Amino acid sequence: MDDFELSINPVALVGLVFLGAIVGYAIRSGRTRIKQLRIRELKREIMNSHAQILELQKEFVLLESRMKNTTQIPALNYKPVYNEYLEEFNSIPDGFV
């Protein structure tokens, strides 16, 4: 068999390693930039959602205060019905239950 000899130029090897590092850094920087943009977009969306919630709460408080000030609904006294049934049940003699 013939001997297979492989010679590598050290300058080319260092150049390829350097080029690979630059390409890897560029790819990582691109992915990081995309993720940062997505994070900013999500933060903006969260801020908009919170602003909408605060606006709805403000409207609710205003509406609630108007309802308290304008309508004077008399409070109705309800006697709990459960107590009436409990009294009837306790008044039944033991032999009939």
Among the residue ranges 6-10, 31-35, 61-65, 77-81, the one predicted with the least confidence is: 77-81
Cα–Cα separations (whole angstroms), residue 61 to 42, 43, 66, 69: 28, 27, 9, 12
Give the start-to-end residue ranges of the domains of the chain: 10-72
Q: If you search the block for the tokens 């709805």, which residue do you land on? A: 56
pTM for the whole structure: 0.52
- The predicted pLDDT at position 64 comes to 86
Question: pLDDT, tens digit, for every residue of 37-92?
Answer: 999 999 999 999 999 999 999 999 998 888 777 656 556 656 656 666 666 666 66
